[in-house]
């Protein structure tokens, strides 16, 4: 009674035929989840922020706080 020989010929191709479609499908699911779970909310948050953002008001506030070396506050 001897042990049967392991099936080594074509083993890689056989395993790839099984695992490659699974890996491809999972990667597509992960990419879609990242797109709709992370990037779309981030783009919406940026759009909402810049909808009401006033850059001149921010510049004036930073100028009055003395952040810039080249621009003096109004009172000085």
5-26 per-position pLDDT tens digit: 888 888 999 999 999 999 999 9
Return the domain boundaries, the chain.
34-75
Instruction: Read off the pLDDT band of 76 (50, 70, 90).
Output: low
> Given this model, what pLDDT does residue 61 score?
92
Q: What count of other Cβ atoms lies within 10 Å of the Cβ of residue 73?
A: 13
38-57 per-position pLDDT tens digit: 999 999 999 999 999 999 99
> Given this model, what pLDDT does residue 49 score?
96
Main-chain dihedrals φ then ψ at residue 16, nearest 5 degrees: -65, -40
Kindly tell me the number of DSSP H helices and DSSP E strands found in the chain: 3, 0
């Amino acid at each position: 009674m001897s042990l049967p020989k392991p099936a080594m010929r074509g083993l890689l191709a056989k395993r790839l035929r099984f695992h490659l479609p699974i890996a491809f499908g999972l990667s597509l699911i992960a990419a879609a989840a990242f797109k709709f779970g992370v990037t779309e909310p981030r783009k919406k948050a940026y759009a909402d922020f810049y909808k009401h953002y006033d850059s001149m008001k921010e510049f004036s506030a930073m100028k009055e706080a003395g952040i810039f070396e080249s621009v003096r506050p109004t009172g000085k």
